[in-house]
Amino acid sequence: MKKKISNLVGSGKASDNSVDLEAYSYCSSETELKPGLVVWPQNIEQIRRIMLYANQSHAPIIIRGSGTSLVGGCVGGNNTVLSSEQMNKITKLDLKNKVIEVEAGIRIKDLNNALSEFKLLFPLVPFNPVKTIGGMIALNAVTKESQQLGRISEWVEEAEFVDGTGKYYTTKKKDVVIGKEGLTGFITRARLRLIEPPALSIDIFTFSELSQLLKQVRLLQKDVEVYFLEFFDKSIAKEMGFEQRYLLITSYTSLKGKNKTVLEVRKILEKLDSVHPLLRSKGYYHLQDPAVSIEKTYDLIDWCEKKKVGLHGHIGLGLFYAYFSREDKDLIKTFKSFIRRINGSFGGVFGIGSANKDFVNPVKKKEFIKLKDEYDYNNILNPGKIINYR
């Protein structure tokens, strides 16, 4: 297998060395599954050939970007990991139309660093900017900016990909891969819309009563100038250096917020960026991403507060992050049952992967099976993720 793939991609671009296999056995979810081979393709033709070979030999492939999945989406035992890490170039920048073409392996932070020279920005920045564009497209990522800007699908003009049978698609088929978590194809290149960095202002609200908080959220949801709407529970607010009250950080694309100088805004944004890593480094290893309606938000916050589960999220979108410690495995099970009881779901931010399979509704399952039938009927790509196909 390694010999054949090495012939396709060139020496040094495929490895079954034990060190490399161990390095690709984990992701940010801490799920550990050791692959049988790791491949770093350099171009579309190589990916196409690998897919064709994988179909002939029925060798499953796991697609991986920067390995930041929180649901075990990019690890697979004994499978071949196809890493987009080395396909990370900017291929075209159209300054006039504010459009960029990039290879799938480029990381958001690297992309925005390169764009800052031209005073442009790819506006959807996840809490982990190490994520690759390919990974974000595969998840149809949502970020705090989605309150105003929507999901990444609205910012992807085109997505090129090689499907599970080795066919290469250039345009007009982006919906086949957006949000499909690599079940239908390996995204190779994308054409993205850009904006000029907006001038933001920020308001910080604190509340002692949940009802007051939710009233404010309902008001702000109607405001078209709201860029993001971030909620933090009392304990996280304290960790962040605020009062131990419910915290709502609201950003506007106008200067009506109280914090409007570049320094003030930057300072608050940095605090927001550091919440996830800080909490995880304090022992909150297990992260869940419940999605609930605004009507059920009260129940969710109340439950988490009683059980001492850290909670924050994009409250305007009904998407949250719940933090559990290493010892909380049983509590996570109870939490999942609770979310099911209040008609909530999981996977809205992190994707389904292998961790949230129980929360895929039958309609979505059928949709995936239909896509698999057309684009990956041998079930080569990411087998066992989202659905059990065949």
Question: In the chain, count of helices (H) and strands (E)?
Answer: 13, 15
User: Are the C-beta atoms of 55 and 335 separated by less than 8 Å?
Assistant: no
Query: Residue 349 CB, nearest distance to another protein (Å)?
Result: 15
State which residue, 132 or 140, has the beta carbon closest to another protein.
132
H-state helical runs in the chain: 2-9, 18-23, 44-57, 108-116, 133-139, 146-149, 210-221, 234-239, 262-273, 275-281, 294-306, 329-341, 362-375
Query: Residue 42 CB, nearest distance to another protein (Å)?
Result: 11
State which residue, 98 or 271, has the beta carbon closest to another protein.
271
DSSP state at residue 347: -
State which residue, 270 or 330, has the beta carbon closest to another protein.
270
346 CB neighbour count, 10 Å cutoff = 24
State which residue, 176 or 332, has the beta carbon closest to another protein.
332
Name the amino acid, one letter, at 254: S
State which residue, 83 or 146, has the beta carbon closest to another protein.
83
Which residues of the shown chain bind another protein in the complex (CB under 8 A)? 19-20, 22-24, 26-28, 30, 40, 66-68, 83, 85-86, 88, 107, 109-110, 128-130, 239-241, 267, 270-271, 273-278, 280-282, 285
What string of H, E and C letters represents the secondary structure of 102-126?
EECCCEHHHHHHHHHCCCCECCCCC
Indicate the Cα dihedral angle 178, 106, 187, 167, nearest 10°. Answer: 160
Query: Residue 241 CB, nearest distance to another protein (Å)?
Result: 6
Query: Residue 267 CB, nearest distance to another protein (Å)?
Result: 7
State which residue, 64 or 174, has the beta carbon closest to another protein.
64
Name the amino acid, one letter, at 106: I
Query: Residue 335 CB, nearest distance to another protein (Å)?
Result: 19
22 CB neighbour count, 10 Å cutoff = 12
Query: Residue 325 CB, nearest distance to another protein (Å)?
Result: 12
Query: Distance between CA 123 and CA 116 in Å, rounded?
Result: 12
State which residue, 15 or 201, has the beta carbon closest to another protein.
15
Query: Residue 75 CB, nearest distance to another protein (Å)?
Result: 11
Token pair for 75: 């690890």
Query: Residue 43 CB, nearest distance to another protein (Å)?
Result: 14
* Alpha carbon distance, N-terminus to C-terminus of the chain: 24
CA angle 135, 141, 147 (to 5 degrees): 160
64 alpha-carbon distance from chain centroid: 13
384 CB neighbour count, 10 Å cutoff = 18
State which residue, 20 or 223, has the beta carbon closest to another protein.
20
Query: Distance between CA 16 and CA 23 in Å, rounded?
Result: 11
